[in-house]
Amino acid sequence: MRLVKQTTQLLRLPVSSIRSRLIIFLLLLMLPVLAGIYWFVSQENQRYTDETINSYLAIGTQVFEFSRTEHINTLLTVSSALTRDWGFRNAFGAADQATILDAAENLLMRSFEAADVMLISDMQGRVIVDTADQGFEQLSGSWQALMDRAASSNDGVAEAVLTIAQKPYQVTVIPLFLPAPVAWIFAGFPLDDKFVQNIKRTTASDVSVLRYSGDIESPVTGTVIASTLSGRDADLTLSQLDPTQIRDTQRIRLQDAEYGTLLRPLSADTDQGELILAVIQRSYRENEANLAQLRDRLFQFSLAVVCLSLVAVIILARSFTRPIVILADRVKMIEQGDYKAGAARRSAGGANDELAQLDSSVTAMAKGLAERENMRDLLGKVVSPQIAAELLASQIELGGEERVVTVLFADIRGFTALSEQQTPSQTLHMLNLCFEQICTAIEDSGGVVDKFTGDAVMALFGAPVMHADDAVRAGQAIAAIEAALERLKDDPRLPAAGLSIGLGIHTGLVVAGNMGSQNRMNYTVIGDAVNLAARLESLTRVYGVSNLISEEFVAAMGDSANDFDIQELDLVRVKGKRETSRLLTMIGPAASAPAGNRLTAPATGQPKSSGADADGSRARFDQMLNCYRNGQWEQALDILRALESEDSGALPSGLYRMYQHRILELRANPPANWDGVFDFAQK
């Protein structure tokens, strides 16, 4: 309604100012919005471009490392092949240097260019064979460091980037065993133009290898060793790069465009003051061209939108004045709740123009609001007010939540037999009278009537509205329902006798919410706790009592259970459940409860009651339960027969007869493992 009111106020602006106000409003709204969109799209495209380039660089770096690793593995394979060559091993054992050199060169030729150089030294680092003719006889510097690292490793294998003839080589080293380690075999391949060109073909990124000399922490002089860039671009890369920013993407300007650049260290020799880096680069040119084209199109679109909108506002403002005032009057009537007033009035526009359609929509809206108002009133009568409020206060959708709820089932007994003696209208009238009393008792106690099923009622305490004392409220509802049904027996509109009530109450975890389908749903609760409450209600016929309550329900009442007169009846396993359920009954209204809780299981003490005979009868019933659970059938039967003959009214005589019949069957067919818990085979 607030939105309707604000819309009405806007529509009732003076006729002479509508056009100018619309134009100013449009400009003030559209220009910042379009500018914001333009800026946002530009920023997002720039961010996307940076992320794209960074991902390409990351892929290029991974491919570079993968290619280098593959070459390293190939070098190790080539070197291992040499160590297994029978002729080479014999030649090395005979110290035949010429044969050793010949075997090494033959292996290099057979390696399909996987290895370019090979060097063999003894275990002390004295050079035996060097296919690169480097001219040193004793390993030193980075060569010695590589040999030492291999000697200290578990498998005797190591790798590093070393400089040979002023070029970086990827070098590996493995030992030669005869059978003890007698020599080191070094093999290497150059990180040259051929190597970086192979990587560029895979990644479409430019790759360079640079050498810096001087202080490793802040290199001074740089040299391009290999590059897929042109000579000029390679020099520009060398001059603009900061070799200390190893992990960050750098943006440098080359001849044709800016490039994203990522560095990876290959070798750092502190003794020689040498740093070798791999450089992966990707051009921003293609991405920036797309970004510039998008910016141009976006600017042209924004300009066209502003111009067309101004023209449209000027034209529409002239024709909107009178029809809008008419519609504003109608909306004002709808806001005040008059959904029919003014329905016959139409806008001044054509029969099929937009304003006429808007007028029809307003009429349909008024009709829909009237129907919803009627539905709201009807909903409050079809479901409980609490459920109606819950449905109207939130978005209606399928689903639920777990809650601890006390569930009450109430069944009107004797109703079927009475309905056979009456007409359908009389039967319905009688049923409604009973339901009126039961629902009033439930709602006055703070419960919510969930549904009616035939002559039974299902009620909830704790959903959808929760109270701290929901279980206590349910206990009060038990007494109120039983008292209401007693009053109904004196109602002249109902039969004089024949009606009674059966109540089942249990507290437990359920799923509460809207269930059904998208087209038809119902707020209810489901779960094992609901099933047990229904079973308790049906078992009231077996025990001959008006109500059966669970041990969990009594525990949920807490200290307030002392305000109720409660009697334990049995320990059972209902059909479909493996857990034991303790059955109790609430005797009399809450107002007549004794000073203490009547929760007198055989192990909890002596019962309390206002009458001495009734108190004694219930004490002996508790004694019978002890005998029954201990399998003392004869003692239990004697007590039951005595109780039935006395008929003190403390407990229903049907309860005594039920136990006598059950004990006779148990005595005739003793169970193998009697634990005092009776298993029900039927619901």
Question: For the chain, how many helices (H) and strands (E)?
Answer: 18, 19
The yes-or-no verdict on residue 437 having pLDDT over 60 is yes
The reported pLDDT for the residue numbered 533 is 93
CA distances from 381 to 387, 388, 449 (A): 11, 9, 12
| 491 vs 36, more confident | 36
pLDDT in tens, 107-141: 777 665 667 888 888 888 888 888 878 888 888 88
pLDDT of amino acid 220? 63
pLDDT band at 375 (very low <50, low <70, confident <90, very high): low
Give the Cα-Cα-Cα angle 87, 92, 95 (nearest 5 degrees).
Answer: 125
Task: Report, as an integer, the average pLDDT of 418-444.
Answer: 83
Quick one: average pLDDT of 93-119? 72
Q: Is the pLDDT of residue 37 over 70?
A: yes
Task: With a cut of 70, say whether residue 642 has pLDDT above it.
Answer: yes
Q: SS3 string of 634-645? A: HHHHHHHHHHHH
Residue 485 pLDDT level (bands cut at 50, 70, 90): confident
State how far Cα 562 lies from the chain centre. 44
Average pLDDT over residues 667-672: 86
Across the range 156-185, mean pLDDT stands at 86
Of 165-169, 384-388, 495-499, least confident by mean pLDDT is 384-388
The mean predicted confidence, pLDDT, of the chain is 79
Task: Report the pLDDT value the prediction gives residue 475, as an integer from 0 to 100.
Answer: 92
pLDDT given for residue 539 in this prediction: 92
| Alpha-carbon gap, residue 76 to 82, rounded angstroms | 10
Q: Give the span between the Cα atoms of 425 and 376, in whole angstroms.
A: 28
Query: What is the percent of the chain with per-residue pLDDT over 90, rounded to a whole number?
Result: 15
Among residues 82, 87, 140, 72, which one has the least CA distance to residue 107? 82
Neighbours of 555 (CB within 10 A): 11
Residue 15 above 60 pLDDT? no
Cβ atoms within 10 Å, residue 336: 10
pLDDT above 60 (res 493) = yes
Residue 156, CB-side half-sphere exposure with 13 Å CA sphere = 14
| Cα 671 to chain centroid, rounded | 49
- The whole-angstrom separation of Cα 227 and Cα 213 is 18
The pLDDT assigned to 507 comes to 95
Mean pLDDT of 409-435: 80
Please say if the pLDDT value at position 2 is more than 60: no
CB neighbours (10 Å) of residue 148? 13
Q: Which residue reads 């829909």 in tokens?
A: 368
pLDDT higher than threshold 60 for residue 594: no
| CB-based contact 60:313 (threshold 8 Å) | no
| pLDDT at 377 (0 to 100) | 59
The rounded Cα 54 to chain-centroid distance in angstroms is 32
Asked if 174 contacts 80 with a C-beta cutoff of 8 angstroms, the reply is yes
**Torsions phi, psi of 369, nearest 5?**
-65, -40
Question: What was the pLDDT predicted at 407?
Answer: 95
pLDDT, greater one: 3 or 204 = 204
- Please give the pLDDT value at position 357: 74
Q: What is the largest CA-CA distance in the chain?
A: 130
- Express each pLDDT in 532-590 by its tens digit: 999 999 999 999 899 999 999 999 999 888 888 899 999 998 887 888 999 999 985 44
Q: What is the pLDDT of residue 405?
A: 95
Q: Between the CA of residue 490 and those of 121, 476, 483, 484, 571, what are the distances in Å?
A: 118, 22, 12, 10, 36
pLDDT band per the 50, 70, 90 thresholds, residue 13: very low
Q: Are 138 and 162 in contact (CB under 8 A)?
A: no
pLDDT value of position 316: 65
Using a 10 angstrom Cβ sphere, with 0-12 exposed, 13-18 middle and 19 or more buried, the burial of residue 118 is buried
Of 559, 567, 533, nearest to 459 (Cα)? 533
Mean pLDDT of 32-52: 79
What's the pLDDT at 328?
A: 74
State the pTM of this model: 0.46
- Tell me which long-range contacts 299-304 makes (C-beta under 8 A, separation of at least 24): 299/38, 302/34, 302/37, 302/38
Between residues 408 and 239, which one has the greater pLDDT?
408
- Which whole-number Å values give the CA distances from 233 to 24, 56, 478, in the listed order? 54, 19, 92
Above 70 in pLDDT, residue 531? yes
For tokens 């035949």, what's the residue? 96
DSSP-derived letter for residue 607 is -
* Domains of the chain, each with CATH number or no CATH: 2-46+289-372 (no CATH), 85-190 (3.30.450.20), 194-283 (3.30.450), 396-563 (3.30.70.1230)
Contact yes or no for 629/621 (Cβ under 8 A): no
Q: Is the peptide bond before 219 cis (omega within 30 degrees of 0)?
A: no
Binning pLDDT at 50, 70 and 90, where does residue 505 land?
very high
Residue 371: is its pLDDT beyond 50?
yes
Residue 189 pLDDT grade (very low, low, confident, very high; cuts 50, 70, 90) = confident
What's the rounded mean pLDDT across residues 422-433? 81
> Where residue 461 falls among pLDDT bands split at 50, 70, 90?
very high
Instruction: pLDDT band for 215, please (50, 70, 90 cuts).
Output: low
* Helical packing angle, 15-84 and 86-93, nearest 10°: 60
How large a percentage of the chain has pLDDT more than 70?
78
Distance CA 170, CA 264 (A): 15
Average pLDDT on 350-379 reads 68
Q: How far is CA 319 from CA 25, 325, 341, 354, 458, in A?
A: 18, 11, 25, 11, 61
Strand partners, 275: 212, 268
For position 372, what pLDDT does the model report? 67
Mean predicted confidence (pLDDT) in 202-215: 83
- State CA 286 to chain mean position distance: 40
3-state secondary structure 304-325: HHHHHHHHHHHHHHHHHHHHHH
- Residues 343-367 have a mean pLDDT of 65
Confidence of residue 348 (pLDDT cuts 50, 70, 90): very low
380 vs 635, residue with greater confidence = 635
Tokens linked to 500: 């009674």
Token output for 148: 């030492």
Q: What is the pLDDT of residue 613?
A: 65
Mean per-residue pLDDT for 359-368? 76
Which of 27-36, 116-125, 326-335, 564-573 has maximum average pLDDT? 564-573
Check residue 549 and give its pLDDT.
95
